[in-house]
Structure 1
Amino acid sequence: MNKPIIILGNGGHASVLTEILLFQNREILGYTAPEEQTNMYGLEYLGTDAIFEKYSPLKVELVLGLGTVGNSNVRQSLFKKLKSQGYTFVICAHPRAIISSTATLEEGTQIMAGAIVQPYAQIGQNTIINTGAIIEHDCVIGSHVHIAPGVTLSGSVHIGDCSHIGTNSSVIQGISIGKNSLIGAGAVVISNIGTNKKALGIPAKEV
């Protein structure tokens, strides 16, 4: 049985997720933020994250509306903190995303409009598959990853936890990208990228 949802955050990423939830006819209690702000969907401001002391994890579910731009630390920390308190994060998938029935989506995964997730792909916890991204067959994507708009991952690509794959970049088949790495916008990755690396260009080179 679906529970009412609280959205963490009130920026652009939160707006995209709000629309997905409205498409799904989910009940949204409101949003949290450091201070009250205008909400374009008319959602109620519930307060700061301290409000979770008032809500039972058995009575509500959460959607993490904070995006990432090359750094997933805040998003990851908040996810882990609230998970440790017993809260559950909703999988948000836009109705116009195409997701194989054999793909695996872990808790808190967010898949935006026009994204394609092909057979036997695995998507880790709290990972964003952004607008129009293509995740081909047998890809394995870690937790707290951001696959930015327009990215193409060919078959059997592996992406480590907490990495950011920049807008319109492409990764050829069988490539591995380590944890905490950043692939720049428009890059073409044709060789493996290590952990804690930054890679830019065509072909992508570590810098």
Structure 2
Amino acid sequence: MKRSAADISHVILGAGGHARSLLGLLAACDLRLGGCIAPAAPEVGWPASCPWLGNDAALGRLDIARAALVNGLGSVGPTALRRQVFDTARKRGFTFPTLVHPSAIVAEHVALFEGAQVLAGAILQAGVTVEENVLLNTGCIVDHGCWIGAHTHLAPGVTLSGSVTIGSGVHVGTGAVILQGVRIGDLAIVGAGAVVTRDVTPGATVVGNPARSLARP
């Protein structure tokens, strides 16, 4: 029997800044909130409407048939922890809804995989593919034909020109611009405000305008 949205409680994993943004996303999508799970109780000022359910052990008390998880971990660099949280919960049988803020613009022929999050004001043009557990933060612009690999985070205000390919586990910092046809390798980091004019190798960190690789220690 198919579950209806009214039957599902959405539980946020995490209680930091991105998790708080997700409270607004869930409310805007008119989805039922079941609380949050985090290593410790949220800081003072955390909304009472989202009760803390406990640490990771609380997952064992959730009914998989009635709970969907929302990945509340953002990133300011490597996205490994975000991926770990997602993969661990998936192995336990939990599902992650795909969430799109009502103010986002999503063109036809856009593919959004499980757990993708599209926040307020984002624009996704035709032919874009967004793989699982990707976070497209506030005001991102993703032009036609782009491919964004699993567990990647595009921070607020990122712009991808057409036919950009982003690998898995990539972090693209606030306000970065990636030009037409550029490929970003797996696990790369693009610094805030960078303008990327050529391909980035896997695992590299690039900064500046035009973006250049940081020397490894």
Instruction: Using structure 1 for the length normalisation, give the TM-score.
Output: 0.97
2:17 matched to which residue of 1?
12
| 2:49 aligns with one of 42, 49, 56 | 42
The alignment-based identity, stated in percent, is: 39
Residue 140 (str. 1) matches residue 147 (str. 2):
yes
Amino acid corresponding to residue 204 of structure 1 in structure 2: A
Cα deviations by residue, 1:103-154 (Å, 9 ceiling, x for unpaired): 0011111111111011110001111111111000000000010101111100
> Structure 1 CA distance, aligned partners of 2:30 and 2:176?
33
Alignment of 1:56-75 (within 5 A): 56-75=63-82
5+ long unaligned stretches in structure 1: none
Deviation at 1:101, TM superposition (A): 2.7
CA contact (8 A) 1:17 1:92 kept: no
1:75-90 superposed matches below 5 A = 75-90=82-97
Secondary structure of the residue aligned to 1:68 is coil
Q: Distance in 1 between matches of 2:209 and 2:28?
A: 38
Aligned residue pair count: 207
State which of 37, 52, 55 in structure 2 corresponds to 1:32: 37
Separation in structure 2 between the aligned mates of residue 50 and residue 140 of structure 1, nearest angstrom: 35
> Structure 2 unaligned runs (5+)?
none
Structure 1 residue ranges (4+ consecutive) displaced by more than 4 angstroms after TM superposition: none
TM-score, length-normalised on structure 2? Answer: 0.92
Secondary structure in 1 matching 2:62: coil
Choose 176-185 or 55-64, whichever is displaced more. Answer: 55-64
Compute the displacement of 1:41 (Å).
4.9
- Determine helix, strand or coil for the equivalent of 1:5: strand
Pairwise CA RMSD of aligned residues?
1.0
